[in-house]
Amino acid sequence: MSPEAAFKRLMESGSASFVSRGDDSGTHSKEKNIWTEAGYDYEAVRNAGRWYLEAGSGMGPTLMMASEKQAYTLTDMGTYLAYRGKLELVPIIDKGAILLNVYSAIAVNPEKLSKTETEMANNLISFLTSPEIQELIGDYGVKEYGVQLFTPCAGAEPE
């Protein structure tokens, strides 16, 4: 099932609880986007009933609340893995293009901001995109959690 289909099923059931971060974070923005792609106005979802709960806090407390209420939530894998020993939750849907969360490093245009340290910015970008650091990024979390937390993609063509 796609994330959009799962959200649609939640909305249509009206009984399965969902805990939102509700804090305007990146994860909350992603959640709002999924509701939109599932065909719903976010404000309508927010006010659809007592099944939709807003934690108004960080990812860790949101996961704890979802676990306590036996509810669904949207989380990043790293935070889930860090908390999994304290949770009665299991990942159900962990694939789908809409779940992709890309991190980028972009130098500020010196023509737009005169005090830009262009050389330093380019040094940081070169460092982050170097093969050695890309390998470190790809290996991050594997030893501790048994899964890759990030997929390095420096130099990859956008889809």
Fold identical between 3-98 and 102-159?
A: yes
Burial 39-57 (b: 16+ CB within 10 A, else e): ebeeeebeeeeeebbebee
- Percent of the chain beyond pLDDT 70? 97
**Domain with residues 102-159, CATH architecture:** 3-Layer(aba) Sandwich (3.40)
pTM for the model stands at 0.83
Q: Would you kindly state where each structural domain of the chain is located, as residue ranges?
A: 3-98, 102-159
Is residue 157 scored above 70 in pLDDT?
A: no
CATH superfamily of 3-98: Periplasmic binding protein-like II (3.40.190.10)
- The pLDDT, as a whole number, for residue 99 is 93
pLDDT digits (tens, 9 = 90+) for 108-141: 998 998 888 999 999 999 999 999 999 999 999 9
- The pLDDT, as a whole number, for residue 15 is 84
Cα 124 from chain centroid? 24
